[in-house]
Structure formats: C-alpha cells, structure tokens
Amino acid sequence: MASDHTILVFGDSLSAAYGIRPEQGWVALLTQRLHSQGYGYQIVNASVSGETTSGGVERLPRALQLHRPETVILELGANDGLRGLPLGETRENLARMVGLAQAAGARVLLVGIRIPPNYGPRYTEGFARIFPELANQYHLPLVPFLLEKVALDPTRVQADGMHPNASGEPPILDTVWPHLKPLLKKNR
C-alpha cells in the first residue's frame, strides 16, 4: 500500500545533483519548499547519474517496495536519447515504470526531457514526443521539459553544456512545482 507521505524522485543525473553539492539540487530545494509551505512529505531521491530507462525498470520495483511512495516523479530517458537507443525501447521502458508505480498505488508525475539534435530531426522529434504521448495514454500530469528555463542559458549550465549548475537548479524546481503541487496534500 502506498504511503501518504513519501514522494519518490526516480531519475538520472538531472535529478541527482550531478557536479554540484546535493543540497543545491532541485530535489533538495523541493524538500525545503515542501517544509516551508507546510507539506509534511518525505522526499526519497533514488536518482542515479547515467541511468537509462532499462536500468530504471530493473531498480524501480525495489524502490517502490522499500519506500511505498504516494507519488513518483519519473525523470528518466535523457541517457537513452543521448546514446541513440531505440525510441520504442525507451517508450516501452517508461510505460513499464508507469505501470509498476501505478500498480503499487502511486501517482506518477512524468518529466519530459529533450535532447540535442545530434541524431537528426526524426530521432530528436520522436524522442520528444514520447513523453506527451505517454502522459496522454496513462492520464498523467506532465512536466513538458525539465530544463525549459535552463538548457539555453549558459549561465545556468555546467561546463559540459548539459547539466545544470547550482544557479540552474531553482529554475528547474520552478518548472516542476506547478505540475507537482496539484498532487500534494497539506499538513500530513
């Protein structure tokens, strides 16, 4: 049975505070915001840098069993896209994780991501479509693009040009928050 006070963030380096101190990451900032606004949620960040959707499928059942989250913020797929993995495989893995989370009684907030155009427009656009299609199919709230306020601002990304720096993390939280807030309950 799902716990009414746990949010599981299940993602990759974009949620794991890659290259910065953990307390600077958007997930840590989310914990602070929830506390300051009177929400009594525990946040479990089960994000792993470099994680693909196939790795996520392998790890999610244990995380669901261990933490019994009320809500899962599913932020995976970027590494699939950066590696040029088959779009059907990425979509199927994300769908499997949505199904696993829902079967465990959790609500899912799906987080969309976009990739650089390295593999051409057909792949890049097909990749971007995966997230709204899944959100529509499974009736999920969707963050359209996690890095919407960060990706094209060089002052908010690390030297690798992909990962947010500490100043890029608050805008990420501001991108996620309006989609997460309707799922929350006060004073738990």
Q: Check: CB of residue 74 under 8 Å from CB of residue 112.
A: no
Give catalytic status of residue 80 as yes or no: no
The CA-atom distances, in angstroms, between 104 and each of 12, 100, 179 are 21, 6, 21
Q: Which residue in the list 3, 12, 13, 35 is annotated as catalytic?
A: 13
Q: How far apart are alpha carbons 78 and 6 in whole angstroms?
A: 25
CB 111 within 8 A of CB 75: yes
Which is catalytic among the residues 12, 15, 80, 163? 163
Q: Is 13 in the active site? A: yes
**Residue closest to 15 by CA, chosen among 57, 59, 73, 67:** 73
Give the side-chain half-sphere CA count within 13 A for 76: 33
160 included as an active-site residue: yes
CA dist., res. 19 & res. 6, Å (int): 26
Question: Which positions are annotated as active-site residues?
Answer: 13, 160, 163
